[in-house]
């Protein structure tokens, strides 16, 4: 915990990593697991939907470079966990 505290941030991001190029998923219960870590006070999650977002329907697959927006699905509590507001 001293290492986490030394980072000086009140928010940390956790994500899986595979050095072998194989996608790795966090288990569904990972948010509950994080809640059990002291001094964590709140935790939430997002997931990549892998949806494609293009600026125009006139752009074909051959013109799409794979860059653009990422579409994430968020848990309902995410906004309050990060202290966000929607106006």
Bridge partner residues of 47 (DSSP): 73
For residues 75 and 44, the answer to whether their CB atoms sit within 8 Å is: yes
**Centroid of chain to Cα 22:** 18
Whole-angstrom distance between the N-terminal and C-terminal Cα of the chain? Answer: 36
Structure tokens at 35: 């809640």
pTM of the model: 0.68
Residue range 25-68, pLDDT digits in tens: 888 899 999 999 888 889 999 988 888 777 777 766 666 666 66
pLDDT at 79 over 90: yes
Torsion of CA 55, 60, 61, 65, to 10 degrees: -50
| For the chain, the helix, strand and coil percentages under 3-state DSSP, each to the nearest 5 | 20, 5, 70
């Amino acid at each position: 915990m001293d290492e986490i505290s030394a980072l000086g941030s009140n928010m940390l991001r956790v994500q899986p990593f595979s050095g072998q190029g194989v996608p790795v998923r966090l288990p569904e219960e990972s948010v509950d697991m994080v809640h059990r870590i002291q001094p964590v006070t709140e935790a939430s999650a997002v997931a990549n939907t892998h949806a494609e977002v293009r600026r125009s329907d006139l752009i074909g697959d051959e013109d799409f470079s794979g860059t653009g927006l990422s579409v994430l699905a968020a848990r309902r509590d995410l906004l309050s966990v990060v202290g966000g507001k929607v106006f």
